[in-house]
Copies of this chain bind each other. A is one copy, B any other.
Amino acid sequence: MEPKFLALDQEKQDRILNAAMEEFAGNGYKNTSTNTIVKKAGISKGLLFHYFSNKKELYLKIYDYFVDLFLSEVQEKVDWEDKDIFNRHRQMASLKIKLFYQYPNVFNFLNAAFTENAQDLRGELESRRERFINHNYREMLQDIDMSKFREDMDVSKMIEIISWSMEGFAYKQQAKFKGLSLDEMDLEETLQELDRYIEVLKYSFYK
């Protein structure tokens, strides 16, 4: 990210980042107007182009910034010694929720970036995608303690079902949080709710 931009106070940075991500996530690259972004962020057009030299750079800088932020967070905060698949998922969920509090549209934005196919971004994005998916799910689920699973069912299918459940839960939570203010969202409560699903899965799939 540009040093000029990073010198801004955090609140203004976040206003701009969130405005841009919300628009990009909701409308795609091409159909997002810089006019809308500046209006939503409460800054002038000129200022946006003072920080980012053009729309394409705005998009890619934000993309890189958050991929880095998230991946380094994961690398750093996850306890890689713990080989229990549910604990791994729970830790990831916790990180995601924390990031979600500050940037409610990061994951929508990153998901959208995954299916984005604007001409201007082709190539630039394509080379970046692999990194993200490799890191996110491969690394996370490798090195798992398989011996805990019941032996009368297909382990890989159980693992898939667990992932799908985590995604389903995340999606459900996000819909629930839509439109709520920050202090109405309770991290602990959400994690406890998640634990109840984990309980069901653990009880079903573990020995």
Query: Is the pair B157, A168 in contact by a Cβ cutoff of 8 Å?
Result: no
Contact of A168 among B27, B28, B160 (CB under 8 A): B160
Query: Is the pair A158, B200 in contact by a Cβ cutoff of 8 Å?
Result: yes
Chain A interface residue count, CB cutoff 8 Å, equals 29
A196 CA / B160 CA spacing, docked (Å): 12
How does the 8 Å CB contact mask read for A71-107 relative to B, with 1 for contact and 0 for none?
0000000000000000000000000000000000000
Measured between beta carbons, the chain B residues less than 8 angstroms from A152 are 203
Measured CB to CB, the nearest residue on chain B to A31 is B31
Copy tally for this chain in the complex stands at: 2
Secondary structure at chain A's binding surface: helix, strand, loop or mixed?
Answer: helix
A65 on interface, CB distance cutoff 8 Å: no
A197 CA / B160 CA spacing, docked (Å): 9
Measured between beta carbons, the chain B residues less than 8 angstroms from A157 are 196-197, 200
How does the 8 Å CB contact mask read for A186-207 relative to B, with 1 for contact and 0 for none?
0000000000110111011100
- Closest Cβ–Cβ distance, residue A105 to chain B (whole Å): 13
A47 on interface, CB distance cutoff 8 Å: no
Q: Which of A87-131 contact B (CB under 8 A)?
A: 115, 117
Measured between beta carbons, the chain B residues less than 8 angstroms from A160 are 168, 172, 197
Measured between beta carbons, the chain B residues less than 8 angstroms from A51 are none
Residues in A lying within 8 Å of B, measured CB to CB: 26-28, 30-31, 115, 117, 152-154, 157-158, 160-161, 163-165, 167-169, 172, 196-197, 199-201, 203-205
